[in-house]
A and B are shown apart, each in its own frame.
Chain A
Amino acid sequence: MSVSQIIFYIVAAFILGMGILSVTTRKIFRSAIWLLFSLIGIAGLYFMLDVEFIAAVQIVVYVGGIVVLIIFSIFLTQQSGKEMPKAPMIRSIFAALAVVFGFALTYLLIYQYGFVTIDQPFDSTVARIGKSMLKTDQGGFSLPFEVVSILLLAAMIGCIVIALKVKPEEK
């Protein structure tokens, strides 16, 4: 077993452990912090898979954007030191059963499928990604790029409209 394999298994265990802590802890602020560590672990996994651009985007958008947004919303809506109420026992038992059986079934399918992997260097430099993103002919992603930019504009305006609304009878 080589060093990179050992590092991969450490990173994988880190991601899964932090994910489990994030969905089971009862303090909401700690849950957000465990989620942060899990996302950083996923960025490390992207580095190991040779996709540095995706790793950088993951850190910038998820760690720097979404988790900070979640922490702000926790501070605006909750007493973060208070423990959340425990889920009913029956619900956790059935959720755990569904998750375990679903995982077993899915992984059994993956394990038996036998993917034919191609051992060939994977070129994912930023230059190639950028050229392919703005190409308009076959194999280009120009149209989805524009559609996503319209979607971001719509989401931005929608957020402002939702968050600004004031009930007229209260004022």
Chain B
Amino acid sequence: MNEIPLSHILFVSTGLFFIGMYGLFTRRNMITMLMAIELMLNSVNINFVAFNKYLYPEKLDGIFFTIFIITIAAAEAAVAIAIVIHLYRNHKSIDVEDAAEMKW
């Protein structure tokens, strides 16, 4: 069944991780930066599932790591969006350059 080489799946996840990194570097809007982080988390999930299937097919550890990462990503997205909405109420902007109140 393993007719796709492992390195090709890792190519997809590496590419997705660095696409997310590009978005994190170039964007200055908080919601789009959050989307870039979601892409990076997904690439890590692909890695875990692929390693579990190809290298340790008798175990389930990679699957569990993926489940916990998805759960924590959902909690993280909810908290991040609550912070973004609160910041928008106070600053009328969600650009990271405008949120400089804690800068000394």
Q: Please report A residues at the B interface, Cβ cutoff 8 Å.
A: 2, 4-5, 8-9, 12, 15-16, 19-20, 22-24, 28, 31-32, 35, 38-39, 42, 45-46, 48-51, 53-54, 57-58, 61-62, 65-66, 69-70, 72-74, 76-78, 84-85, 87, 91-92, 94-96, 98-100, 102-103, 106-107, 110-111, 115-124, 128-129, 132-133, 139, 141, 144, 148, 151-152, 155-156, 158-159, 162-163, 165, 167
Contact = CB atoms under 8 A, between A and B. Distances in A.
A46 B54 CA distance: 13
Classify the interface of chain A: helix, strand, loop or mixed.
Answer: helix
Interface residues of B, number: 70
Given A45-B12, A151-B75, A2 B85 contact: no
Given A22-B39, A66-B74, A155-B75, A5 B3 contact: yes
Interface of B: 1-4, 6-12, 14-16, 18-23, 25-29, 31-32, 34-36, 38-39, 42, 45-46, 49-50, 52-60, 63-64, 66-68, 70-79, 81-86, 88, 90, 94
